[in-house]
Structure 1
Amino acid sequence: MYDESNAWKGIQLDSNENIKKLIADLSNKLVEVKPSVEQVERMQRKQSYKPSFVSKWYMMKAQDKQLSHLTTEHGLGVLPYKVDVQIRPVSGPNAGWVFKGDSAILSDDDTSKFYGGILYFYNEEKVELIAPVQANDGDTGVIINTGQEDGRRLGNNHEVVIEAFVRVKVWAPGDLPAPDFRSEWLTLDIEDPAKTFREIGHSLDEYPGLLSVQIKCVSSTSFLISDCVGVTTIQTGK
């Protein structure tokens, strides 16, 4: 005799097993798809980190009134989030290697020792690059100086570079993630001891992954921005 109730229970059990199997298959597929989605998101984020502007390579030369100053227009129309100045020697042991531009040259032509660097300043439209030029004393300013024979370690590729190729990369605010914290512009004054130091709380409760400290140099008609350095290597007094 055919038992209809038992047959129905069998169908229900088969259906439940099929549903469980289907759910398990879907779960496995979601696990497989998730890394692919994350990989795509990472690729998209990496692509968005590309600078909006990359200049061509220009020749600059220290102690040359024409080639020591370069203006390149990035044309973003907004204040850059980040500017990177790259310096590439044309010959010598460091040829092909890339050095970074500076926001400050911590010496001047009043010293007899070699010093070097390329200063950069920027605003919403352009980046200004400046190499050392003799003003009132020696012509010891260069573009790259990797050491000097006065007791300091020279390194393996000691070189004093007078001329080099330079290139500018500029990131617009939309090229990088929005900052978690942004302070107002604060006044510093080296002639007022009370204004030579500022402490700013960011409230992130962790070390920042990216920190940018900008300096605004203001005139009556315009302004230029540069970036802070993390340490100074010259002091006055004994």
Structure 2
Amino acid sequence: MNKARHVIWLLLLTSGYFTVFVRGNCSVTSKAGNCTTNPKAVSGTWFSVKAQSTIQDNDVSFIAEMEESCNELPLKVDVQVKAHTGSDFIFPGSGITQRTDDSDSPYGGVVYKYKADSSIRIMVPKRENGKSSGITLFSGGSSWDGVIQVNETAADVRYRVWCRCNFPTPAFESSWTNIDARNNNFLEINHGLGIMPDMVIVQLRHGSTDRDWVSDVMGSMSTSRTGKEKSGLIYAYNSRTVRIWAPENGNLFNLADGWGLPRDVDTVISGQLKVYVWSYLMNTKSKSVTIDRRTSIPNLQVPLPVPLNIDHDILYFTISPTNGENRGFAFPGVGSVQNADTNTQYGGVMYSYSSDKIRLWHPKLDGRHFLVYVSNDWGGGHHTQSAESVTARISVWKAGQICLIPPSHRTTPKTTTFPVTTLKPSHPSMSLGNASARDLNKKELWYDRSVTVPVLWLVVGGGGLLLLIFLLAIIIYCICKENSSNEFR
């Protein structure tokens, strides 16, 4: 029977139906079509943070070494925040700040940055030389609409980290590309895939070396504040390109005033961006709803398309203007409000989630505050937007499942660089989003990536597997018969 056993193993190994998953080997993981594994690391505990804490407490800032390091820059870092009050809802941390402490208007957020050496630093608001108006979790107060109001000074945080081996290979990965808030404040990076991506990640490196801090660019929130208060980056994407706006004469990242402790001071005027695009992720279930002026507040709480494991799964939330210069572009949401002063213009959609639902907040749509807002002061005035009607997409990406995905549709293992478009500043007129109303409940669209495998591939693949099993059975029968005959000779 040894000969039979050897033949069976040889056939299995060469057939492609037998795959060994090695977590440390990215090529094996990608070729197997594995959608995603569990995070490489989840912090073993929830850390307490408290805005405006005394320096002696150190609650406003801490640095940790990420467990089970990637030994390179992580592909995705996710900071989860939950209120001390015991709520089940998770608020995503942010890679941007858009406020200082110079105003009495409240603001909030948990901000983080990380390095390739496995360091991660997490910070919350702390008065520097202005007002103690920053808190940890803030949903905008009376200036924003949502099913409940969130105003929390203390919270618990933890991080989740995915290395390259925990994700399929991106369909597109750009090189590190220079960006400058003074002279190079708008980029278009063409991924050229021709289909709407399932997920896009944009990283900002605070310099030009592997030793520099990195933060994640967030999507939809922006403000019309001026001077040193103007910071952060905005990005959006469609089936062809990724647009990235920087604040003109502002900062790409700013912790110099109103955040963290004195040792955390980090003002970034110029840096480098890297874009990752995934075009075909299996095990993804999505739901789309419309938000506009007629969306009622109760409808800002939406059931998830599938139950979410908050330890391992990924929730991805974007909004797309229904008209204007960025119609159809997806802007990722944010996890805390930093703009609530009714005297200034701003935009954005905030969200939090539990295992079965998502809650949304947006500014009161009064003609000065919007769901997506890109003013002339961002990106040199290119592709401005003031949208009061968007399509929100809620996606849940399940971890640890095997994709039934044909090779022709798997993300390419090659890193491809497409041209980057840098435009000179201009100031086209701003376009006001259409306020036409559609009922949220009547416009729920469901999308299940896990059942969109081509039927032909399933038929051919299934038939091939049955044929292989049949051939194996014949071979085993013949070998066993031969061995049996030899025993009686």
* TM, length-normalised to structure 2: 0.37
Give me the CA root mean square deviation.
Answer: 2.5
SS of residue matched to 1:45: coil
Letter in 1 for 2:61: H
Note the C-alpha offset of 1:131.
0.6
Cross-structure match for 2:191:
202
Q: Does 1:81 find its partner at 2:70?
A: no
Q: Does 1:148 find its partner at 2:138?
A: no
Write out per-residue CA displacement over residues 84-131 of structure 1, whole angstroms, 9 at most, x where no aligned residue. 00001011xx72211110111221211111100011101121211011
Letter in 1 for 2:141: Q
Cross-structure match for 2:49:
60
| Kept after mapping to 2: 8 A contact 1:132/1:141 | yes
Write out per-residue CA displacement over residues 177-232 of structure 1, whole angstroms, 9 at most, x where no aligned residue. 0111111111111111xx11111111211111110111000288930111112233
CA distance in 1, matches of 2:94, 2:199: 18
CA distance in 2, matches of 1:86, 1:179: 24
CA distance in 2, matches of 1:159, 1:230: 21
Letter in 1 for 2:178: T
CA distance in 2, matches of 1:97, 1:160: 14
Q: How is 1:213-224 mapped onto 2 (pairs within 5 angstroms)?
A: 213-218=202-207, 222-224=211-213
Letter in 2 for 1:234: T
SS of residue matched to 1:218: coil
* TM, length-normalised to structure 1: 0.74
CA distance in 1, matches of 2:208, 2:138: 32
SS of residue matched to 1:188: strand
Cross-structure match for 2:174:
183
Gap change, CA 1:60 and 1:112, over 3 Å in 2: same
Cross-structure match for 2:153:
162
Extract unaligned runs of 5+ from structure 1.
1-36
Note the C-alpha offset of 1:236.
4.0
Note the C-alpha offset of 1:138.
0.5
Note the C-alpha offset of 1:49.
2.2
CA distance in 1, matches of 2:170, 2:108: 32
Q: How is 1:24-103 mapped onto 2 (pairs within 5 angstroms)?
A: 45=34, 48-55=36-43, 56-64=45-53, 65=55, 66-74=58-66, 75-91=69-85, 95-103=87-95
Cross-structure match for 1:113:
105
Cross-structure match for 1:21:
none
Write out per-residue CA displacement over residues 130-155 of structure 1, whole angstroms, 9 at most, x where no aligned residue. 11100011011111001223xx2353
Note the C-alpha offset of 1:45.
2.8
Write out per-residue CA displacement over residues 40-67 of structure 1, whole angstroms, 9 at most, x where no aligned residue. x9xx835x42100000211011112311
Between 1:135-144 and 1:64-73, the stretch displaced more is 64-73
CA distance in 2, matches of 1:220, 1:179: 22
CA distance in 2, matches of 1:233, 1:146: 15
Cross-structure match for 1:20:
none
Extract unaligned runs of 5+ from structure 2.
1-17, 19-28, 227-343, 345-489
TM superposition outliers: structure 1 runs of 4+ over 4 Å: none
Q: Which has the larger radius of gyration?
A: 1
SS of residue matched to 2:144: coil
| Kept after mapping to 2: 8 A contact 1:87/1:166 | yes
Instruction: Name whichever structure is richer in strand by fraction.
Output: 2
| Kept after mapping to 2: 8 A contact 1:90/1:96 | no
Gap change, CA 1:154 and 1:231, over 3 Å in 2: closer
Gap change, CA 1:196 and 1:146, over 3 Å in 2: same
SS of residue matched to 2:179: coil
Gap change, CA 1:218 and 1:236, over 3 Å in 2: same
CA distance in 1, matches of 2:140, 2:107: 9
